[in-house]
Amino acid sequence: MQHPFGPFISRDSEILILGSFPSPRSREEGFYYAHPQNRFWPLLADIYGETKPGTIEEKKAFLSRHHLALYDALEACDPRTSGDETLQKPVPADIAALIKGTKVRIIITNGALSAKVIKAHPVDGVAFLALPSTSPRNANFSYEKLLELWSKALK
């Protein structure tokens, strides 16, 4: 399966947040982190002191205000379920080409699989920081701990 929607990025993007591959819910909605239990959007709202965006347009406006870009480390794969551990036949995205012409200075990975892909395919001249997944499946990290780690990275 090819990635079902494109990256959200602009020339003014400074931070690229990479997931692994869209969940079934995100594929249905056509945008990132659509599962209602995913902590991604509440975390970003708390970090930046804003109301959690609801619609895709609100999410895009939020990301633009904070110079954030979103994409996934995999351009294609065979997703068996929503869990990263079941993704088969992974094809890494060309992140260097994606960020060319932008102000991206750091790549933050959301979870272990995206970190593994970036470590295997680093982007010259761009810093990289691996953060724990915001997925509801990641029970190892409380919301408070995720907020602490993600805040340090984004501020």
Q: Assess whether pLDDT exceeds 80 at residue 84.
A: no
Q: Where are the alpha helices (DSSP H) in 5-72?
A: 24-29, 40-48, 56-65
- Domain residue limits, the chain: 15-154
φ/ψ region of 29 (left if φ > 0, alpha if ψ in -120 to 50, else beta) reads: alpha
Are 62 and 52 spatial neighbours (Cβ–Cβ below 8 Å)? no
Q: Assess whether pLDDT exceeds 80 at residue 135.
A: yes
% of the chain exceeding 90 in pLDDT: 78
Mean pLDDT of 126-145: 94
Mean pLDDT of 57-78: 94
Topology (CATH) of 15-154: Uracil-DNA Glycosylase, subunit E (3.40.470)
Mean pLDDT of 103-110: 97
The predicted structure's pLDDT at residue 119: 94
Q: Assess whether pLDDT exceeds 90 at residue 77.
A: no
pLDDT tens digit string along 52-62? 999 999 999 99
pLDDT tens digit string along 15-47? 999 998 888 899 999 999 999 999 999 999 999
- Taking every pair of Cα atoms in the chain, the longest distance, rounded to a whole number of angstroms, is 39
Banded model confidence at residue 1, pLDDT cuts 50, 70, 90: confident
Instruction: Give the global pTM.
Output: 0.92
Name 77's Cβ contacts closer than 8 Å, sequence gap at least 6: 1, 21, 87, 88, 89, 90, 91
% of the chain exceeding 70 in pLDDT: 94
